[in-house]
Structure 1
Amino acid sequence: MSLHPLIPWPLVVVIGLLLVGFTTWRLVADPRRRGRWALRLVTGLVMVVALLGPAVNGGIAQQAASDVNVFFVVDTTTSSMARDHNGKQTRLEGYREDIAKIQKEMPGARFSLITFDYATRVVMPLTTDTTALQAAASTMRAENSLYSGGSSVTAAGERLRTTLEGAQERAPERSRIVFYLGDGEQTASSRPTPFDVGDLVDGGAVLGYGTKQGGKMATTRGDGSAGEDVTDSEGNPGISTIDEQQLEEIADQFDVPYTHRTGGDISPALEQADPGTTSDAAGAEIEIYTSVVWVLAVILALLLSIDLFLVTREISRLRRATP
C-alpha cells in the first residue's frame, strides 16, 4: 500500500484536523444527535483518507528510453492521391500506415511531422505525445488541386534545415532521424534544389511510394475530400509514376538508404535506416500502482446520501410539527 495525495499533504492534514476536530466536538456536545455526528465523523475520515490517494502497489516497470528526434517529411502534392500503393490504395494511405508503424517501433522518441506541396508546413513540432502524432497523420490531406501548379520534391529543404538546426541547438545530445516519404515525381519546370542537411542528419531513410506503371489520381477539394480523377487538356486520365532515381538522389543527400515501400512489415526498412542511438538499455524504473480512491469515493457518496436523507427527513418532520 502506498499514498499518492490528490492535493499537497500538508493541506490534507489541515482539512483532516478541521473535519475530525469539529465533528468530534459536536459528537460530545450534542448527545441527542450523537448518531448523526458519528456518521459525519466517519464521513470526514473517509474524505481525508481519499485525499491521501491510497493505492495498491504493483510491480516495477521499465520506462521506454530513447534519445532520438524523428522528423517525418511527407509529400502531400496531388500525386499522393495516386492509387497504386499496395494494390489500389492511395500513396497517402501508405504514408499514414508507415508513420504509425515507425512510431510503434521507436518508443520514447520525439516525433515531428512536416508536409510539403505548394507550401511547406510543420504540422506537428517535436513531441513524445504519440496520440498527437496519430491524429496529425490521420488528418493529413493532399493539397487542394486548385492550387496545384507544379511542385518540387525538395520544397521542404529550407524549412527542414531550420527545424533540424533548432533541434540541434536545443538538444545536441539527441540524434536527429529523418524519414522522407514521397514518390519523387518532380512536376516543377526547374530541377530540384538539393537538400543541404547532410551534416544535421544522423540516420533515417527515404521511403518511396507508387509504381513505374503509375496510378490515376483523384482531384482534391479544400476539405481534403476526393473529387473526379485528374485529366489532361485532352481529357486523358492523369497518371503519376514513381521516380526512384530522384528518390535515391535525395537519399544520397541525406546519406541514408532508400527503400521502396509496397506495404507490409516496416522492420526491414528500419534495420537499413540505422535509426540512430535509440537506447537498447531499459529506461528508468517506474512503480506501477492501482489507485483505490474510487472505492473510497463510492463509500463517501453513500455516506453523504444517508446524511442527506436523514437531514431531509428531519426537516420534513419539523415542517409537519409547525402549526
Structure 2
Amino acid sequence: MSWHPVIPWPLIIVVGLLLVGFTGWRLAVESRHRVRWGLRLATSLTMVVALLGPAVNGAIARQAASDVNVFFVVDTTTSAMARDYGEGRTRLDGYREDIAKIQEEMPGARFSIITFDFAARVVMPLTTDTQALKTATDNLRAEDSQYSGGSSVTVAQDRLKKTLEGTKERQPERSRIVFYLGDGEQTSSDQPAPFDLPDLIDGGAVLGYGSAQGGQMATTNADGSTGDDVTDSAGKPGVSTIDEKRLEEIAKQLDVPYTHRTGGDIGPAMEDADPGTTVAGAGASIETYTSLVWIAALVMAALLLADLFLVTREIGRLRRVEP
C-alpha cells in the first residue's frame, strides 16, 4: 500500500480539517438528523482518503538504457518540400518518419537535432525525452523561400564539429552516432567543404531522399505555411532532384554507409550504422502502482446518493404536512 496525493499535502490537511471538523461538529450537536450528518461525515472522510491517492504497489520497472548520443543533421532547405518521396509526399515527411523510426530502434539513447539551410542551428539539444524529440520533429519546417539564396550540403560542418567535440569532452564514455538526412542538392555556387570530423563519429548513416526525376516544391513562409510552387526565372516549375553521388561522398567523409530512402522499414539502413548497445533494465527505475482512488470515488457516490435520498424524502414529508 502506498499513497500518491492528488493535490499537495498542505491543501489536503486544510480541506480535511474543514470538512471533517464541520460535519463532525454538526453530528455531535444535531439531534434530529444524525443519520444525514453521519453520512456527510463519512463522505468527508472518504474524500480525504481519495485525495491522499491510495494505491497498491506493483513491480519496479526499469527503462532501457543506451550508451549512445544520436545527432540528426537535417536538410531544411526549400528542396525539402519537393514532392517526390513515396507517392507525392514531401522529403520533409520522410525525414519526420525516419527520425521516429530510428528513435524506436534506439530506446534509451539521447537525441539531438541540427538543421541546416543557409546556416546550421541546434534546434534540440541532447535529451532522452522522446516526447520532446517528437515535438521537435513535428515542428521541422523548410526555410522561408523568400530568403533562400543558395546553400551548401556541408554548411553544418562547423556546428556539428563543435557539438561533437563538446559532447566527447563531457561524456567520453558515450559513443556518438550521426544520421545525415538530405537530398545532396548543392545550390551554392561554391564547392562544398568536406566534412572533417576525425575521431568524433562512431557510427551512423547518410539517408538520401528524393528521386532522379525530381519533384516540384511549394514555396514556404516563416510561419511554416506554404504558397504556390517554386518557379524559375522563365516562370517554369522549379524541380529538385536528388544528388546521390554527392550524398555518397558525404557518407565517405563521415565514414558511414549511405542509404536511399523511399519509405518502409528503417531496419536495413540501421544494420551498418553501428548504433551502439541498448541494455534493457539498466536505466532509471520507475515504480508502478495501481490506483485505488476509483474505489473511494464509488464509496463517495454511494454516500452522496444515500444523503440525497434522505433529503428528498424529508422534503416530501414536509410538503405533505403543509396546511
Same fold (TM over 0.5): yes
Matched AA of 2:42: V
- Superposed, which structure 2 residues align to 1:166-185 within 5 Å? 166-185=166-185
Q: Does 1:231 align with 2:215?
A: no
Aligned to 2:128: 128
Aligned to 1:70: 70
Aligned to 1:195: 195
State the TM-score, normalized to the length of structure 2: 0.82
SS in 2 for 1:199: coil
Worse overlay, 262-271 or 159-168: 159-168
Cα gap change, 1:49 to 1:172, in 2 (>3 Å): farther
In structure 1, distance between residues paired with 2:234 and 2:14: 82
Q: Does 1:279 align with 2:309?
A: no
Matched AA of 2:65: A
In structure 2, distance between residues paired with 1:227 and 1:165: 40
Cα distance, 1:46 vs structure 2: 0.9
RMSD (CA atoms): 3.5
Cα distance, 1:269 vs structure 2: 0.7
Contact 1:198–1:253 (8 Å) recurs in 2 = no
In structure 2, distance between residues paired with 1:286 and 1:34: 47
Aligned to 1:55: 55
Matched AA of 2:293: V
- Superposed, which structure 2 residues align to 1:76-155 within 5 Å? 76-155=76-155
Matched AA of 2:68: V
Aligned to 2:321: none
Worse overlay, 31-40 or 106-115: 31-40
Cα distance, 1:15 vs structure 2: 7.2
CA-to-partner distance for each residue in 1:176-234, whole Å, 9 max, x for gaps? 22111001111111121222334322221111112233333332233333333333323
Cα gap change, 1:212 to 1:198, in 2 (>3 Å): farther
Contact 1:198–1:255 (8 Å) recurs in 2 = no
Worse overlay, 35-44 or 135-144: 35-44
In structure 1, distance between residues paired with 2:314 and 2:83: 74
Aligned to 2:320: none
Provide structure 1 residue ranges, at least 5 long, that are not aligned to the other structure.
318-323
Matched AA of 2:234: E
In structure 1, distance between residues paired with 2:15 and 2:222: 56
Cα distance, 1:9 vs structure 2: 6.8
Worse overlay, 30-39 or 94-103: 30-39
Contact 2:23–2:40 (8 Å) recurs in 1 = yes
SS in 2 for 1:200: coil
Cα distance, 1:160 vs structure 2: 1.9
In structure 1, distance between residues paired with 2:191 and 2:224: 28
In structure 1, distance between residues paired with 2:122 and 2:11: 44
CA-to-partner distance for each residue in 1:139-170, whole Å, 9 max, x for gaps? 32211211111100111222222333343344
Worse overlay, 143-152 or 169-178: 169-178
In structure 2, distance between residues paired with 1:230 and 1:12: 61
Contact 1:213–1:241 (8 Å) recurs in 2 = yes
In structure 1, distance between residues paired with 2:49 and 2:281: 39
SS in 1 for 2:272: helix
Matched AA of 2:197: V
Cα gap change, 1:280 to 1:314, in 2 (>3 Å): closer
Cα distance, 1:121 vs structure 2: 2.7
SS in 2 for 1:73: strand
Aligned to 1:320: none
Matched AA of 2:151: S
Query: Number of residue pairs matched?
Result: 319
Q: Does 1:39 align with 2:39?
A: yes
Aligned to 2:161: 161
Aligned to 1:240: 240
In structure 2, distance between residues paired with 1:184 and 1:228: 24
Cα distance, 1:58 vs structure 2: 4.5
